Amino acid sequence: MNSHPAHIRKVVEESLVRLKTDRRDLLYQHRADPNFPIEDVAGTVKDLIKEGKVLHFGLSEANVSTIGKAHAVQPLSAIQTEYSFMERSVEKNGVFAICEELGIGFIPWGPVGMGYLTGQLNANTAFDLKYEGSPNVERFTPQNLAANMLIVNLLNDFASKKNTTASQVALAWLLAQKPFIVPIPGTRNIPHFKENRGTTDIQLNASGLQELEAGFSKLKVNVSRMNAKEMAVCE
């Protein structure tokens, strides 16, 4: 949350040492810092790009106004925001549209709903508290897990007919939305990595996409985003 220009430069210089490289391929501001105008942040990154220490500039969880102001100073290469089959806010809040208008790549984080859309969770799932995240998000309460199972069932049923998995269907759905989307599914083991990679062998045709949309349109998503406190630092 510290986007003081001097701090940005300091952490970039330190990361170059740690990474044993002379440039950062993509530098994100992961959350907007209310203490420093985005124009100052973009200007600092622009200087780092001129020096060859950064190649591309990105923002995470930024709103349309912030994106426009930053891009006017230093063109953005990537916008990272949560987007998945069950979480579609960016389709309505203008973020998707401005990325398409300005030619900015879109990086969906949580593309399988932070594990939700893998088909492996249910109301009785015991979370590993060694890892931060899931137990602290309202969508993972037993009540909301149970309420949202219809969405997971929709993906599971579709996947079974295609001889694939719910995760692969969720990722393939994302890739079918726009050509400038690059999902970043997280994984902690090789089998999941291979499953995610296998998505590239799946192509959803128009009828498949229509079937998924028809099913989804009949369902209600219970709490698909972070809570109010977490969302407060997203823009």
Highest-pLDDT range among 35-49, 103-117, 139-153, 212-226? 35-49
Q: Whole-angstrom Cα distance, residue 182 to residue 177? A: 11
Q: Which pLDDT belongs to residue 128?
A: 63
**Mean pLDDT of all residues in 95-116:** 93
The reported pLDDT for the residue numbered 130 is 58
Residue 90 vs residues 61, 160, 176, 183: alpha-carbon distances, Å: 10, 29, 16, 14
How much is the pLDDT for 164? Answer: 93
Q: Evaluate the CA torsion angle 115, 100, 27, 224 in order and state its sign.
A: negative
Q: What is the pLDDT of residue 125?
A: 78
* pLDDT for res 173: 96
- 133 or 173: which leads in pLDDT: 173
| pLDDT at 188 (0 to 100) | 83
Beta strand segments in 15-155, E: 24-29, 54-60, 78-82, 105-109
Q: HSE-up of 235 (CA within 13 Å, CB side)?
A: 13
Kindly tell me if the per-residue pLDDT of 235 is higher than 70: no
pLDDT at 32: 87
Domains of the chain: 112-179+188-235 (3.20.20.100)
Chain segment 204-231, per-residue pLDDT in tens: 999 999 999 999 999 988 865 655 555 5
Would you state the pLDDT for residue 202?
A: 87
Rounded to an integer, the average pLDDT of 187-204 is 89
CB 227 within 8 Å of CB 142: no
Write the pLDDT tens digit of every residue in 57-100.
Answer: 999 999 999 999 999 999 999 999 999 999 999 999 999 999 99
Query: pLDDT band at 131, cuts 50/70/90?
Result: low
* pLDDT surpassing 70 at residue 165: yes
